Amino acid sequence: MDGLDKALAELKREIIETRNLVIRNDNLLKTFGADLKTLGRKQESFERKQWISSAVAYVLFVVLASGAAFLASQGYLAQARSEVEALAQKAEEATRAAKEAEEELARAREASQAALAAYQKLLDAGPSEREAVVAEVMAIDRSRLSRLEARAIEDRARSMIQQLANEKFESGRAAYRRKEWRTAVDDLLKAMTLWPDHPLAAEHAFFLGTAANETRQYELVEQYLTRYIEEQKGRGNKDYAYLVLGNAKAALGKISDAEATLRRGAERFPNSQFAPQMLRRAAALRREASSTATADNQ
- Tens of pLDDT, residue by residue over 133-161, are 666 666 666 666 667 666 766 666 677 77
Determine the Cα–Cα distance for residues 251 and 124; give it in Å rounded to an integer. Answer: 47
Determine the Cα–Cα distance for residues 257 and 289; give it in Å rounded to an integer. Answer: 11
- pLDDT of res. 23: 77
Of 181, 175, 241, residue with least CA distance to 205: 241
pLDDT in tens, 266-288: 999 999 999 999 999 999 988 88
Report the alpha-carbon angle 181-182-188, nearest 5.
Answer: 85
Calculate mean pLDDT across residues 44-48.
67
Determine the Cα–Cα distance for residues 10 and 17; give it in Å rounded to an integer. Answer: 11
Mean pLDDT across the chain, nearest whole number?
Answer: 78
Whether residue 156 contacts residue 119, with contact meaning beta carbons closer than 8 Å, is answered with: yes
**Among 1.10.4190.10, 1.20.120.10, 1.25.40.10, 3.40.50.300, what is the CATH number of 199-293?**
1.25.40.10
Each domain of the chain, given as residue ranges in start order, spans 86-179, 199-293
- pLDDT of res. 35: 63
- pLDDT of res. 19: 75
Given a cut of 60, whether residue 54 has pLDDT beyond it is yes
Q: What is the pTM of this model?
A: 0.54
Whether residue 119 contacts residue 152, with contact meaning beta carbons closer than 8 Å, is answered with: yes
